[in-house]
Each structure stands twice: as C-alpha cells, then as structure tokens.
C-alpha cells in the first residue's frame, strides 16, 4: 500500500468519524425535538386548563444526552469494549505464549513505525482478535486465549500485523465509535420497548375527545414517524457497522501482509480461525465488526454481492485467503 493510499484512508476515516458523530447527534435531536413537535401538535388545541407542551424539554434533554454519549464513546469507548469482552491486560506475561505475543507486538510496532499498543487477553477458547482505540497513541490489541493456543509464531505475527493495519489506517477510531453508538442506540430502543410493553402511552389528553373534537392528524403522523425511527435505529446502526467493517478487512489484510512480508502466514492463520466453528462468546454483538473474523459465525459472511456487502460484517474468508495467497506468489516472484 502506498503512502498516498495510507493518507487517503486516514483522511477518509477522519471524515467518516466526524459524519458518524454528527449523524448520531442529529438522530438523537430528532428523537427529542420530534417528540416535542408531536406533543405540541397534540396539545396546542386543548382547553386552557389542559397541559400544553410549549417548552421542548425532551429535545434539549435527549440532545444533551447524545453529546454526553459521544464524549463517553471517545473517552471511554475502548475501555468499555475491552471490559465487555472480559479482557485482561498483559502487564507481566504469564507463560511462553503471552511472552511471544508481547514480543510480536513490539516487532510489529517497529515495522509499522507506531507506538506499541497495550496488549490484552480475552478468556475465550475460540481464536479471534481485535483492535480498538481512538488513535495510534491510545490503541489496544486483544487476542483470545484460543488464538494463542491455535497459531504458530509466524501466523500470530500475521494476525497482529492485521490489527496494526487497523490502527495505522485509523479504522479503530471509526469502528470503536460505531461499537459505542450501536450499544447506545440499542439501549435507547430497549428502553422504548419496555415503555410500551409496560403500558406506556402518549396522548393529547382525553378532554378533547369528550368534547367531540378529533385528534390532530399531523400530530399522529409525526408520532408514528418518531416511533418507527426509534424501532429501526438499532437495525440501521448495526447494518452500518457491518458494512463499514467488511470494506476494511481486505485493506487490513493487505497492509498487514506488507508489514510482515509474509502473506502466506496470515492466510494460514485465517484458515485455522475459519476451521473453528464455535462462536467467540466473549465478544458482544455490538463489537463483532471489530474482530478479524466474525465472532458470531454468520453464514452471510461466506457470500459475495451487494446484499452480502450490506448485511455481512466480514468478507468471505475464502476470498481473503485467495488474495493473500496471490500476494504471497507475487512476493516470491519478486524475490526470485
């Protein structure tokens, strides 16, 4: 990958991160002020003694909450991802496998010309790995216990180099923000579901009906659109996370292979990861797009095409292996 492509990729990820944050805040502003609009329309024609929704307290509250969540995602998002996975930081390596991981991390930091990230172990027998953080100076690489047991040193080096590629390309910023936003939107949607399951209702008051007046149809339309938005939000954000991840895995494979000069090792590692059918249960659904292979083992990831690109979180492993083997052939041909 040329330097120009690297800078273009970093600039693209910066822009997309900014757009993601802006879209997130605007979405929450709509949820708040859209609700205020529905309440205002529903109450503006009620008798003077009835409640009239004139102060947009809902919009002010929810928009402020969105701003707080963005700050939290920026400041604490990586920590929450690692906490959710039950990860343990490797401060003093426990055994030869962890020492090897630390050594490989130091080697790849030198090769990538990046600060050494903090290294973490996830207590899960399924082999997997992910990187998180906001920038190279505040980055983390986590691997599962199963990965340490399953891979040879050169294969481990290939996986760690892949994660360094995500760090160098600034994928980690966009993907970590996505993980935090997916979780926040899912939490909000769950809260709405509990409200309605608990019998919650929104009305403009019963007195207008008793006086023979019909409800405001515009208020009903706005209210329906508001509720539909809240219901669809977690689905849309999760699909967005999947689409973003799939496009970046090919680039991270290629960049990682260039860092190690050994594409075949990463191809071999991916074959071993693909052979384990069990899901990586320690990884939360909202963080699945961070991993080198899909921790949920969804079949859509084995397919290609527009639908798979939209619904799948990772490209087909067979295609990734084919591309890496092609790179290995080209490297061998140049060296020969």
Q: At what angle do helices 57-84 and 3-43 cross, to 10 degrees?
A: 140
- Is 107 an annotated catalytic residue? no
Distance set, CA 251 to CA 47, 103, 134, 169, 328 (Å)? 63, 24, 19, 9, 15
Q: Beta strands of the chain (E only): which ranges?
A: 88-89, 118-122, 129-133, 139-144
CA distance 270 to 274: 6
Annotated catalytic residue: which of 98, 145, 155, 163? 163
Q: Do the bridges between strand 129-133 and strand 118-122 make them parallel or antiparallel, or are there none, so unpaired? A: unpaired
Q: Which residue, chain included where needed, has tokens 């920026």?
A: 74
Residue 274: which residues within 8 A CB-CB, separation 6 or more? 293, 317
Catalogue the active-site residues. 163
């Amino acid at each position: 990958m040329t330097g120009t492509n690297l800078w273009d990729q970093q600039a693209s990820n910066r822009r997309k991160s900014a757009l993601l944050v802006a879209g997130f805040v605007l979405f929450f502003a709509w949820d708040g002020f859209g609700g205020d609009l529905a309440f205002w329309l529903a109450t503006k024609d009620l008798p003077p003694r009835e409640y009239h929704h004139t102060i947009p307290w809902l919009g002010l509250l929810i928009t402020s909450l969105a701003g707080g969540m963005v700050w939290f995602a920026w400041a604490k998002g990586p920590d929450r991802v690692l906490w959710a996975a039950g990860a343990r930081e490797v401060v003093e390596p426990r055994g030869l496998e962890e020492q090897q991981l630390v050594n490989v991390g130091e080697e790849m930091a030198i090769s990538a010309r990046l600060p050494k990230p903090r290294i973490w172990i996830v207590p899960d027998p399924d082999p997997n790995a992910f990187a998180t953080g906001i920038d190279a100076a505040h980055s983390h690489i986590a691997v599962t216990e199963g990965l340490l047991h399953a891979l040879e040193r050169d294969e481990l080096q290939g996986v760690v180099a892949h994660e360094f590629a995500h760090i160098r390309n600034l994928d980690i910023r966009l993907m970590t923000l996505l993980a935090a936003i997916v979780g926040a939107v899912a939490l909000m949607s769950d809260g709405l579901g509990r409200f309605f399951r608990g019998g919650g209702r929104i009305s403009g008051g019963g007195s207008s009906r008793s006086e023979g007046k019909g409800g405001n149809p515009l208020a009903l339309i706005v209210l329906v659109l508001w509720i539909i938005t809240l219901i669809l939000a977690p689905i849309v954000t999760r699909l967005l996370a999947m689409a973003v991840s799939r496009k970046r895995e090919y680039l991270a494979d290629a960049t990682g292979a260039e860092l190690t000069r050994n594409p075949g090792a990463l191809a071999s590692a991916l074959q071993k990861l693909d052979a384990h059918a069990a899901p990586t249960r320690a990884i939360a659904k909202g963080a699945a797009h961070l991993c080198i292979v899909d921790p949920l083992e969804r079949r859509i990831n084995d397919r290609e095409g527009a639908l798979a690109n939209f619904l799948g979180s990772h490209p087909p492993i067979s295609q990734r292996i084919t591309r890496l083997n092609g790179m290995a052939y080209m490297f061998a041909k140049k060296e020969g």
